[in-house]
Structure 1
Amino acid sequence: MGLGVREALESDWPAIAEVILAAFGREEGPEIAGLAAELLQDPTAHPSLALVATANGRAVGYLLFTSTRIKDAQQAAPSAILAPLAVHPDYQGQGLGGRLIEEGLGQLRASGVDLVFVLGHPGYYSKFGFSPAGARGFEAPYRIPPENADAWMVQELRPGAMGRISGQVVCADALNAPEHWQE
């Protein structure tokens, strides 16, 4: 099928926006595509890592990681948040989202990132090593209702990072708004 994963280029953006719209639908898609575009331009989101999945040269998946920091942490720890992940409906259920996640986590690990956060479906993200962040001492930028607490997740990329820091996660300005943290 000619599937590949590579770093996204600025010239990929129109196709990536279409993937996001298709994956999230016409109701949520425009907001999520707008947020992704805003994050790419937000200097507080950098360093960032944007990956695109292609099938026969056509964009069919997208993943963005942006920089975060831990408020009032005693020690600095390079960290990032995964948002958004989108796979075109024609390619969902084929492991493409997982391939994007694994490639991204590998690149982040190699670049020295200690922790990666995500607000997402626990049943999905736990397959890639994410676990509830609140139980590990990491508070989301905004309150997560108790019934959704397990959706706020973290993965340690550098052994021992979780044992030495905790606190509230601060995201890029574009993502640090209450509407991005509510169901």
Structure 2
Amino acid sequence: MPNMKPISDLRNDTADVNEVSYGNRVYVTHNRHGSCATMDIQELDKQDKQKAFNQLIVIRPENPSEYGEVNKIIYEAFAEPYGIETGKFMMEHFMKERQKETFIPELSLVAVLGDGTIVGEVAIHETDIATENGNNTQLVLSQSAVLPGYRMQGVMRMLVEHALNKARMMGYGAVFLGGNPKLYARFGFEPSSKYGIYHEDRKKWGDEGFMVCILKSGALDGVTGTTSYYGG
């Protein structure tokens, strides 16, 4: 049985300190003298709590066997602030998107805790930009959701950043999104109107609400037009 010490003592002795989180608890171990400590994540200050969650969460593609669980997460994420009908609509919307040819399994990601609990998801699909010279295929961030109890803890940031990086590695050039410019600017999204590309319902989204994140320099050079798909 390892010698238990106050968690503050272990953190003050920073050499060879390792922290691992499971469920709602964080375990701190000292690799040299074998001491360890544990405490509830809820008791940690903001900085330590963020560190614990960042170590804990794994971002990976969702498995078909998890579709039901992810559907429930989408429902809860939207029903809690916007009502039951909105929750149902968003859940059914994503269920339909999985059946389309534009669905990309590698870019339908989930955030998983150390105990296997899924707490968030994000999905990026293909979308076409209608131009004078035909369709130009790019991506759209079509869905994102985090369980109410895990918001404001960096989960969505991790999901979106991971999804964008993976899309870039897969060779895609740009990701579109309809949403709040203040929320998504931190990820590199900017108004798509800057590139002469607009959502088909321009009146609804205006020139600021429909955005794009450039993954590959020059991806939209010479491309102007509209797209009818903004995501959910």
Q: TM-score normalized by structure 1?
A: 0.85
| Contact kept? 2:199, 2:229, Cα under 8 Å | no
Q: CA deviation at 1:170?
A: 4.5
Match status 1:162 vs 2:209: no
Please name the residue that 1:52 is paired with: 110
Please name the residue that 2:90 is paired with: 32
Please name the residue that 1:89 is paired with: 148
Q: Residue 165 of structure 2 aligns to which amino acid in structure 1?
A: G
CA offset digits 1:49-85 (Å, max 9, x no partner):
2001112211100111110111125487541100111
Larger RCO: 1 or 2 (CA < 8 Å, sep 6+): 1
Secondary structure in structure 2 of the residue aligned to 1:69: strand
| Contact kept? 2:201, 2:228, Cα under 8 Å | no
Q: TM-score normalized by structure 2?
A: 0.68
| Contact kept? 2:131, 2:223, Cα under 8 Å | no
| Contact kept? 1:78, 1:112, Cα under 8 Å | no
Distance 1:170 1:108 in 2: 21
Distance 1:46 1:7 in 2: 13
Match status 1:14 vs 2:68: yes
Please name the residue that 1:64 is paired with: 123
Distance 1:3 1:96 in 2: 8
Please name the residue that 1:3 is paired with: 57
Distance 1:67 1:97 in 2: 21
**Higher Rg:** 2
| Contact kept? 1:67, 1:171, Cα under 8 Å | no
Distance 1:70 1:168 in 2: 5
Specify every segment of 5 or more residues in structure 1 that has no aligned partner in the other structure, as ranges: none
| Contact kept? 2:112, 2:120, Cα under 8 Å | yes
Following superposition of structure 1 onto structure 2, how do residues 29-178 of structure 1 map, counting pairs within 5 Å?
29-43=87-101, 45-47=102-104, 49-55=107-113, 56-72=115-131, 74=133, 77-145=136-204, 148-171=206-229
Q: How many pairs align?
A: 172
Worse-superposed segment, 64-73 or 97-106? 64-73
Q: In 2 relative to 1, CA 103–59 (structure 1 residues): closer, same or farther, beyond 3 Å?
A: same
